[in-house]
Chains A and B, each alone.
Chain A
């Protein structure tokens, strides 16, 4: 199958040149998916598929156009290539456009262990069983778990092929699976729902479905009886799940796209202090078995480790070949082709490096404050860093959890929040390409009653 995809990739870029393009590259992905959800012990949905997608970028000198299709039949591909080349004549010349100057050496790619061959022996029956066991473990944790949005298991295998007209032809494979449980708890004070999941490239690195179910149940139970608190200013601790979102805002602000558009709260800050000294953030595409790892990016640029913030000082922005040219920097291997359009900047494994303090110890430092484990809404202004989001969490009194909290917001500004990170935990949760440990922020405004 892969040989066929490589042939298609080479054919497409050759045709683009034949039709008048000066340069072109194409990115093909084939995904094999299996998804099962179980609710109250019975299979609710079972979904299976193999799908393919091709993305093409052509240049006519410094002009460019792109296209995407799920239909790889020869007639559709031919007409799409031709139309993409025609469209490129109608866009504007852009001095920063073009293929990357440097691409990875395909004979010398690192083995990042992205694909686990043992998935092949993990049968559909076992997959369904894992979903069932995760839910069952959640349901039997406590009698107050009265309902469920189910347990799920999902598996994916993908093949990526990239070719360009400068002779680059690379490919790699990846696998991944996750197991999740979403129980519902009820008490006289109402209903609550939460979830937990385990995700990994390798089957033997997943948490057991029982562990996932129990953790999901405990996370749900602790929310029962949640109430508002009075409007005040207090220390705020983010658990690893919510701390990730803070780190993802830093990613957004450091992406070359946001920087050249001046729509980032971190522009013109390289070499300056932007966070507390205990904050170090990296983008590391070479993490072994990392969820965001790859040997080269979606333009063929070799992947790498890029320091973002070192001891509070901003080191680098992240770039595609386009944003690198535009901002007079080197590409960092962060070219990403998620949509149908131009190559954007995406994270690989973008994480805040853990500190030495355990989460209980961090909680113990707070006399009166809020521990956050869910954030809702979109109240983050990427341009100014202004921050206002809904939260669910626990009120802390004298270093201990006092009662659960909901229907309140926390507000501040990301610039200030990064500088106010007082303690970095030792407990990172790698649940996606962006990750972080527990973080304590000196103070924020909590709006409630």
Chain B
């Protein structure tokens, strides 16, 4: 397990968290390279199907990053995303899959450090959890 490198798929909103990730880069902040970023216009545009797909194909964690509550570029997309992720968490828990592999975090465009810290924290968390058990299945 010592050489286990968690793989994180991140769905980041264009206006806040993606820009924060960009800022972390341009500020030369250091954080683990375990995250693969997919840019969305809004967390409210994220269908849970893509989160589920990542998990079923063996991603060890999924990070969903959006604007802080009240700051959504489209007024309320992040509140809607929060309900969808709450439902996904409930479903995963019901099906015996640890919902704490799916993180929803609010990171604004100016919070580059917060983005780097979040990724660092999530990688540590996933190292403790170990690999996604779905990894071993020949695609379900």
Pairing of A with B: no
Name B residues whose Cβ lies closer than 8 Å to a Cβ of A. none
